[in-house]
Structure formats: structure tokens, C-alpha cells
Amino acid sequence: MPRKLRFAHAEYQVRGHRFAGTGTLWDITTPVLDGLYLLRPDEDCRSIIYGVIGRALARWPFDVYAFHAMSTHWHLLAAFPDLRIKARVMRFLNGEIARRINRLRGRTGPLFARRHQAIQVLSDAHALDRIKYLLSQGTKAFVVRHPAEDPFACANAALLLGRPLRGRWHGEGETVDYTVELSPLPALAHLTRAEYRAALRQLADDVAREQRPRRKKAGRRLMGPERARTVDPWTRQTPGPRTPAPVVHGTEAQEAGWREAYGRARDAYTEASIAFRAWQADQAKVMIPWPPATLPPAFADSEVARWARAGP
């Protein structure tokens, strides 16, 4: 089955906090292989994740609004100026987290089950819903009562309590301490820092209140931070019922508009790919540019660049 086209709909643009101009907002999820608890929130794992995110923020211009690394998967809510930077950042984040967690756990091979899943967010209201969803992860999993108590490698402590998220990056011949710089959510960017924290705290309080009767009905006791930190990383999560992921986070009308734009981009992408193959056979033929809302294949970019350097 062919990979889904990497496509960014231009309907909802957010102004960059750490980059000039506008970009698109994404809800990104990456699952751990076989549901293993390899991202359990011990101090070394938390430091690795914070260090890798901090390193990525130092290298590329993009905004991180929230993130949450449960033991079996991790979420990122972020905005990127274009698809090329998004691809580079996610390749770096997942590649470095995998390499370093493998070393920490004494294992080899892939850490993540598949390539990350990126869903575009198309409205301020849905962006607020996604940040509430990320804040709720530890509470919904019956680990803690309130998102502010969450022990996982996540943005909760910074967003709700103002605590810095510090991690360490061990590179070739260097060790650097990073503090993850979070950007204000575009829908709340007009608020002061104190007002922003109070607004998110209200969302977190709503989560705690909503999850209390659910926990009571399930008859579940809280796992607690200490047990979450010491669970065997080779434990496998029991698979639950799977529901299809949404195409976008938006209204029905926005989803319909996204699908229509995606169809046009897919047709234009196919036409450009056919023209590129013809150009490979005969470089006197004219190439058609890939549509601007998509990301051209890496092999095509590199081959065109080599040809341009060598001259016609």
C-alpha cells in the first residue's frame, strides 16, 4: 500500500513564535514497537526526551506547544513553517529518541512501530482540544488524579506549574543541557504568561473533574508516579479496541475542504512524478514542479540538485 501523501492544507495558518511568517499546526503520534513500556518515565528517559527536543529546537525554527511521552507512545503538538522542516525535525526526534532509549534499555533494533502519524489541526477550537487531550494523558490512564501531578516526560509541569523542562544531550565530544522552550498556543497567544497558565490550569482542572467519575465507575486504583517510573520496560500493553484516526482535527466542513484539496494535490503530484520519470530518461524533457502543499520525494530532490550542479 503506498504511503499517504505528505500534504499541508493552507486553510488554517498560525503565526510562528520561533519562526518568521506563518505555518501549519500538527498533532503527531508515534507508537512504541509491540506496545512495550520502553518510554517509562524514569529520570534517565525523561532527560533523554527533554534533551532531544531541546536540541531540535536549537537546530530548527518550529514551535512546540505541548508534548507527552507515555510509556508506549508519544505525542507532539507543534507548528512548522513548511513540510520540509517538519520532516527533518520528526526524523531527528524519533531517530535520536530511538537510538538513545535503545542504549538506555540495552536493546537494538527499531524502537517505534511505524512512521509517525501527523494529523493537521484546522481551527483554534480544535487546537485547544488537542492541548487538553495531551494534558489529560496520565489522568486518563489512571496514573494520577490531576494533570499537574503527571510523572511522564511531558509539558504539563511547565504549562501548569511554570517548572522548567531540563534535559541533557550527549553528543560527539560534547554534553549540553537544554531547557525545552514551549511556545504559547496561537489561540491564547494574546494572554500574559500568568493568564496563559491560568487558562491551561482550568483545562487541567476540567480533566481531573471529568475523569473522577470514570475512574470510580471502572473501580480502578491510581497507579501513582512511583510505580509508573519503575514498571518493567519489557511489559507489553494489552491491545485495546482500535478506532480509525481522524483525517484532520476540524469541523465536517473543514474535513470536506481538506479532502477536496488533498485530491487536487494528489493528482498534481502524480502528474509531476510521471514528468520526473520521463525527465530521468530524457533530460531534454520539461519537468513539472511538485505542488507547493506537498513534499517532493527526497530522491528526486537530490537528483535534480546533482544535475543542476553539473549543468545541462
Residues 261 and 228 in one domain: no
**Residue 124 CA to its chain's centroid (Å):** 17
Residues 177 and 279 in one domain: no
Among the candidates 224, 250, 276, a domain finishes at 250
Tell me the CA distances in angstroms from 297 to 23, 273, 300, 307, 312, one per residue in order. 21, 9, 5, 16, 22
Residues 26 and 67 in one domain: yes
Quote the pLDDT of residue 303.
Answer: 60
Residues 35 and 155 in one domain: yes
Quote the pLDDT of residue 101.
Answer: 98
**Residue 138 CA to its chain's centroid (Å):** 17
Residues 75 and 213 in one domain: yes
Q: Judge whether 186 and 83 are in contact, CB under 8 Å.
A: no
Residues 188 and 275 in one domain: no
Residues 68 and 103 in one domain: yes
Q: How would residue 288 be classed by pLDDT, with cut points 50, 70 and 90?
A: confident
Quote the pLDDT of residue 312.
Answer: 46
pLDDT in tens, 96-155: 999 999 999 999 999 998 889 999 999 999 999 999 999 999 999 999 999 999 999 999
Residues 110 and 226 in one domain: yes
pLDDT in tens, 86-109: 999 999 999 999 999 999 999 999
Q: How would residue 2 be classed by pLDDT, with cut points 50, 70 and 90?
A: low
Query: Which residue type is seen at 19?
Result: F
Q: What is the mean pLDDT of the chain?
A: 92
Q: Say yes or no to pLDDT of 293 above 50.
A: yes
β-strand partners of 167: 178
Q: Could you give the CA distance from residue 13 to residue 186 in angstroms, rounded to a whole number?
A: 10
Asked if residue 104 is part of any domain, the answer here is yes
pLDDT in tens, 27-43: 999 999 999 999 999 99
Among all chains, which residue has been given the C-alpha cell 487546537?
A: 127
Quote the pLDDT of residue 65.
Answer: 98
Residues 190 and 283 in one domain: no
Which range of residues forms the domain containing residue 196?
14-232+243-250
Residues 206 and 276 in one domain: no
**Residue 150 CA to its chain's centroid (Å):** 19
Residues 69 and 155 in one domain: yes
Q: How would residue 1 be classed by pLDDT, with cut points 50, 70 and 90?
A: very low
How many domains does the structure of the chain reveal?
2
Quote the pLDDT of residue 169.
Answer: 95
For residue 130, what is the domain's CATH number? Answer: 3.30.70.1290
In which element (H, E) is residue 87 found?
Answer: helix 83-105
Asked if residue 142 is part of any domain, the answer here is yes
